[in-house]
Amino acid sequence: MVRVTAPRAWAVLAAGLGLAAAAQAADPLPSWRDGAPRRALVEFVAATTTPTDLRFVRPAERIAVFDNDGTLWAEQPLYFQLAFALDRVKALAPMHPEWKTQEPFASLLRGNLKAALAGGEHAIVEIVMATHAGMTADDFAAVAKSWLATARHPQTKRRYVDMVYQPMLELLGYLRANGYKTFIVSGGGVDFLRVFAEEAYGIPPEQVVGSGIEVKYAVQDSRPVIERLPQIDFIDDKAGKPVGIHRFIGRRPVLAFGNSDGDFEMLEWTTAGPGTRLGLILHHDDAAREWAYDRESAVGRLVRGLDEAEEHGWVIVSMKDDWIRVFADPARTRR
Amino acid sequence: MVRVTAPRAWAVLAAGLGLAAAAQAADPLPSWRDGAPRRALVEFVAATTTPTDLRFVRPAERIAVFDNDGTLWAEQPLYFQLAFALDRVKALAPMHPEWKTQEPFASLLRGNLKAALAGGEHAIVEIVMATHAGMTADDFAAVAKSWLATARHPQTKRRYVDMVYQPMLELLGYLRANGYKTFIVSGGGVDFLRVFAEEAYGIPPEQVVGSGIEVKYAVQDSRPVIERLPQIDFIDDKAGKPVGIHRFIGRRPVLAFGNSDGDFEMLEWTTAGPGTRLGLILHHDDAAREWAYDRESAVGRLVRGLDEAEEHGWVIVSMKDDWIRVFADPARTRR
C-alpha cells in the first residue's frame, strides 16, 4: 500500500485538476537547475523565514549582499565601467589637446588599450579621475545614464544593462519576496552603479555600496550642487568590503554572493557571524554561453575562493551546470 | 441656515453613532496641535501619495531625513553622546594614569567640564578618540548599549532613550505608513546612533547617516573583526550633511527636518530640488516642558534657520505651541 501523506495527496489532486503547470510557473528560481546551490538557497530561505525554525532570522536582520561585476552582470573582457571611462576619454579628447602626448591618454586615443593600462593602478586612477570628476553629481549621472542607454558590448553587441544574469535577478526577487533587503557591495563606483541598479536589479540607490570619490556641497549661482572632486574617498574592494558594509549598512549580512577574490573578505565577514549564514561564489566556467576564467584572469581573478570555499562552507555555483539560462531577456528593459 | 458639507455631515453622523472616539484614535499625529506645521505635514503627505495629484512622488523617491540631536531627542545641557564620552573617560581612567596630568582628561576627571572643553574642537576630538576608538565595532556597540540602558539625564533623571520626542515618533510612523523611508542624518557618531535608533525610532542601521571614524577589517586569531581607529573619517554636519546624504543615500530627499544651523545645508539641499519638497525646523521655545534656546546657545544654535526660513518656505515648528506633548512615555521601552 502506498501511504499518501497530506501534501502528496494535495499534489496528486492538484495534478488531476490541471494545476501542475500553475505550480511550476510559480517556481521563483526557474533558471536555476536542480542541484546543490539551488537546494542550499531554497533551504536557507525556508529556514531563516520559518519562525519555529531554530535558524529563523528576524526580518530586520535579513540583509543579503551581492558583488556586481561578474556576479550580477558580466565583466569580460574588461569591467564595463572601464569601457565607459574609455569612451569618455574619446568623447572628451577634443577639450584636452594635452592628452595627445600625455599617458595613459595618448596610448588610449591611439587605440592601444594594453599600452594605456601598462601603468597599472595609477593609469586607471588617472583615467577614472579625468572622466568621473570635475562635474556635478547630476551631470555625471546624466552622462552615465546616456552611455548605458546606448553603448554596446564589443562581443555580444548587447547593451551592457542587458548583460545582467537572469538567475541572479530571480534570486534577488526571491530573497526580497521573503523579506530580505538586497544590497550591492561592489568595487565599482557607487555613483555609476546607482544610475542603473534600480532599473536593472530593483536595488534602490540607498542599497548600493561601492567605491567613491570625494564630493563637496556648494551653492553655485544660488543653485545647490554636489561637486565631484578628483580624489578617491574609498575603495570598496577586498578588505574594504567589510568596511563598506560596516560603514553603509551597519549590520552584518546573513547572505553574501560574489565571484572573485575581491569578494573573499565580504564572504568571510558574512559567514563568520553567529547563527545561520550563507556564502556563495559564482564560478565562470561557461565558455559557450559566457566566459570561462578563474585563477589566471586579470579581471575577476578567483584563487582563494576556490581553494578555501570548502573550509568555509561556501557554495560554488557553476554557471555551466547550475544555470539553465545566463542572460536576462533584453526585451524586459525596452518600454 | 447652516450649510452642512459632506465631511461635516459624516462627522455628525459618526458622532451620533459613537464613532468619534474611534476616529480620534486613528489620528496618526495625536500630539500635534492643529496649526500650520501639522497642516503642512498632512497636506504634504496627502499630495505626495495621491497618484492623481501633480505633486505625487513615486514610492522609491519618498525619502525623509531627520537630524537627531534636538530634533528626534533632546540635546541639553550637552549632546547625549558627549555625556556618554565623559562617563567613559571616568570609567577608563584607572587604565590611563597619564590622564591625571593630561588635558582635557585632567580637568574632566576633576569634574571641571568647562575647563576640559575650553580646548574647543580639539579637546572634544581627544575625548571622542579616547572613548570611541581602540576596540572592535562589536565591543563599542556593547559598551554604548549598556550605557544607554542605565545612564540618566542629570536634570530630568530619565534615561536618555526616554528623552525622545513623542510628536516626532508619530511623524516617523505617519510617514512610513505612507510609503516614506525615514533616515537619520546626524552630526552624531553613526555607530553610537545605530545602537539605539532601531528600538527608539524604528530606524534600522542602514538608514542612519552620521559622523564616523576610520575602521579596518582584520582577522584576529581567525576571528574576523572591524577595528575602530583613532582617526576621523567623516563629519556629517553643516555642508557635510548633503555630502552624507549623497554618499549614503544617493538620492535627494523630499522632506528634511532639523533644529539647528547644522541642518541648514541639509534643508537647503532638500528643498531646492524640483517638485514637491518640505523643510521643517523645530524651534526649542518651551522652557516649561523642555528648554528654550536658539541664537545664543552653544548647543543647537539656530540663527540662519530662523532668519531665512521664510525665504526658503521652511516651516518653523514651535515646541510650545505646536506640540501637545513633548516626551514619549518611558513605559513604551520597558519590556
The answer to whether the Cβ–Cβ distance between B215 and A243 falls below 8 Å is yes
Which amino acid, residue A147?
W
Distance CA A197, CA A183 (A): 10
B249 touches chain A (CB under 8 A): yes
Architecture field, domain B30-76+158-333: 3-Layer(aba) Sandwich (3.40)
The alpha-carbon radius of gyration of chain A (Å, integer) is 22
Helices (H), ranges, chain A:
6-16, 20-25, 36-49, 80-92, 105-109, 113-116, 120-132, 137-150, 166-177, 190-201, 240-244, 264-271, 304-312, 319-322
Could you give the CA distance from residue B254 to residue B313 in angstroms, rounded to a whole number?
A: 14
Query: What does chain A come to in residues?
Result: 335
Q: Strand B208-220 vs strand B223-234: parallel, antiparallel, or unpaired? A: antiparallel
Q: Is A56 on the interface with B (CB under 8 A)?
A: no
Listed by number, the residues of chain B in 259-318 with a beta carbon closer than 8 Å to a beta carbon of chain A are 265, 268-269, 272
Instruction: Write down the pTM of the prediction.
Output: 0.92
Give the per-residue pLDDT at A121.
84
- Cβ separation of A248 and B251 shorter than 8 Å? no
Q: Which residue of A lies nearest to B240 if distances are taken between CA atoms?
A: A217
B208 contacts chain A (CB < 8 A): yes
8 A C-beta contact, residue B55 and residue B48: yes
Q: What local confidence, expressed as pLDDT, does residue A172 receive?
A: 98
As a whole number of angstroms, the distance between CA A166 and CA A31 comes to 7
CATH code that applies to domain A29-76+162-333: 3.40.50.1000
Domain boundaries, chain A: 29-76+162-333, 80-150
Helix (H) or strand (E) holding A233: strand A223-234
Which of A206, A216, A250 is the closest to B190 by Cβ? A250
- The three grid cell numbers given for residue B111, joined into one nine-digit string: 569634574
Is B172 at the interface with chain A, CB within 8 A? no
- Residue B58, chain A, CB below 8 Å: the answer is no
ipTM score: 0.91
Residue B15 pLDDT more than 80?
no
Buried/exposed code over A172-204 (b: 16+ C-beta within 10 A; e: otherwise) = bebbeebebbbbbbbbbbbbbbbbbbbebbebb
Is A81 an interface residue toward B (CB < 8 Å)?
no
Residue A161's identity, in one-letter code, is V
CB contact under 8 A, A63 and B269: no
Which candidate, A85, A55, A65, places its Cα nearest to that of A236? Answer: A65
Nearest-Å Rg of the Cα atoms of chain B is 22
Sequential pLDDT tens for chain A (335 residues): 344 444 444 444 444 444 545 555 589 999 999 999 999 999 999 999 999 999 999 999 999 999 999 999 999 999 999 999 999 999 999 999 999 999 999 999 999 999 998 888 889 889 999 999 999 999 999 999 999 999 999 999 999 999 999 999 999 999 999 999 999 999 999 999 999 999 999 999 999 999 999 999 999 999 999 999 999 999 999 999 999 999 999 999 999 999 999 999 999 999 999 999 999 999 999 999 999 999 999 899 999 999 999 999 999 999 999 999 999 998 886 54
pLDDT for B278-321, tens place per residue? 999 999 999 999 999 999 999 999 999 999 999 999 999 999 99
Tens digit of pLDDT for each residue in B229-253? 999 999 999 999 999 999 999 999 9
Cell readout for A245 is: 558594509
| Chain A environment of B60 (Cβ under 8 Å) | 198, 204
Question: For B269, phi and psi rounded to 5 degrees?
Answer: -65, -40
